[in-house]
Amino acid sequence: MAHRRPRRPIPHLTSAVKNVDVAVYDFVKSIEDGKKLTGVQSFTLEQGGVSLSYSGGFIDDIKPKIEEAQKKISDGDIKVTDTYKG
């Protein structure tokens, strides 16, 4: 009988995306509206400020679980700690 190595989990590869376009749009819009944004601005998941890349199909099998977690975060059921200390 041949020696078999234990099966290892297949790693999932994806990228966290900072949607800078959302920040740029909000800033330009604030100037247009005469209410220029100043100081530190945070763009959260529910505001569309961050997301995940699903390209390549590497995480398609767990996408429903990710979307469920994203909804819980956006709804406030899961609290995400803000590490910015300003």
List the chain domain ranges.
Answer: 16-75
What pLDDT shows up at residue 53? Answer: 86
42 token code pair:
């945070």
What pLDDT shows up at residue 82? Answer: 75
Compute mean pLDDT per 10 residues along the chain, 86 residues long, and list them.
65 78 95 95 88 84 92 91 71
The whole-model pTM stands at 0.63
What pLDDT shows up at residue 55? Answer: 81
Angular region, 83: left φ>0, alpha ψ -120 to 50, beta rest: alpha
Q: How far apart, in whole angstroms, are the C-alpha atoms of residue 62 and residue 44?
A: 22
